[in-house]
Amino acid sequence: MTARSGQGQPHKPDAGEPSTMDALRLRRVNRWQTQGLAGALADLYVDSRGMSARVEHHSRQDFLHRLTGDIRRPGFAMVVAETDGLVGCAFGFPVRSDGFWWLGFDGALPQGIEQLTESGGVFAITDILVRPHPQDQDHEVAGRLQERLLTDHQATLGATLVDQADHPALASLRSWGWLDVGEIWGPISATLLRVLVLPVGERTGARLEGLAHDAWTRWPG
């Protein structure tokens, strides 16, 4: 997962100053349209991470490789945010009801998450990318993107995996409402990843609130 919001103190627009949110448009794109947007999405990825020229090329190619893999997954979906150009996107795929996605979870999978998975209500969000904005409205753009992606698929829970060393991504996700619920071993790299979930609706949030508190106690920071 990549998630990065703008840094610094929020800036509120003066009277008459245009707001990104006023002109923001959300649009669903299918897998073929996503392939056509690959170059622009890679640019967005680089901008959202604030990368140096030294690491930009390698990171860009790595992102495109991961995007190609996700596009091939059953149920892949993407929502993009636009004003006069591309300012954000969120994409992912439904988690299969057999629970295969959760293999490698450290400990027993919490019952609430297991039940939601079995009912087909979990959607894995692979990436949320938002171009930094001087008015610090990145979190609003991210919030609308993730909400649209999940509600379009009638999901009751979003899920994502984050490298434990990626502190900016973890901080951004937590500020966008994601809850830290445990750790999981990556299936390919054998890397221990942090598991975050995003409840949709008050009932789901209440079911997972205690779980998130326990996880925060065990894995602070």
Q: Which domains does the chain have, with CATH numbers?
A: 23-218 (3.40.630.30)
Q: What is the pLDDT of residue 162?
A: 93
User: Residues of the chain with pLDDT > 90: what percent?
Assistant: 54
The predicted structure's pLDDT at residue 101 = 92
SS (H, E, C) 61-108: HHHHHHHHHHHCCCCCEEEEEECCCEEEEEEEEECCCCCHHHCCECCC
Going by pLDDT thresholds of 50, 70 and 90, the confidence category of residue 6 is very low
pLDDT one-digit tens code per residue, 78-123: 999 999 899 999 999 999 999 899 999 998 888 889 999 999 999 9
> 31-34, long-range: CB within 8 Å, 24+ apart, which pairs?
31/71, 31/76, 34/67, 34/71, 34/76, 34/78, 34/91
d(C-alpha 80, C-alpha 93), whole Å:
15
pLDDT value for 91: 97
> Quick one: pLDDT at residue 79?
98
- At 141 the pLDDT is 92
> Confidence class of residue 208 from pLDDT cuts 50, 70 and 90?
low
Q: What one-letter code names the amino acid at 171? A: A
- Which of these ranges, 16-20, 29-33, 164-168, 169-173, has the smallest mean pLDDT? 16-20
pTM over 0.85: no
Task: Enter the DSSP assignment of 219.
Answer: S
Given a cut of 90, whether residue 55 has pLDDT beyond it is no
Q: 25-61 burial by CB neighbour count: b if 16+ within 10 A, else e?
A: ebeebeeeebeebeeebbebbbbbbeeeeeeeeebbe
Q: Are 129 and 41 in contact (CB under 8 A)?
A: yes
pLDDT of residue 204: 56
DSSP letter string, 165-189: T-HHHHHHHHHTT-EEEEEEE-TTT
Q: Calculate mean pLDDT across residues 121-130.
A: 95
Q: Is the pLDDT of residue 49 over 90?
A: no
Cβ-in-10-Å burial (0-12, 13-18, 19+) of 162 comes to: buried
Please count the other Cβ atoms lying within 10 Å of the Cβ belonging to residue 9. 5
Mean pLDDT, range 22-47, rounded to an integer? 92
Q: What is the mean pLDDT of residues 111-136?
A: 88
Q: What is the mean pLDDT of the chain?
A: 82
Tell me, what's the pLDDT at 58?
80
pLDDT tens by residue, 183-197 = 998 766 678 899 999
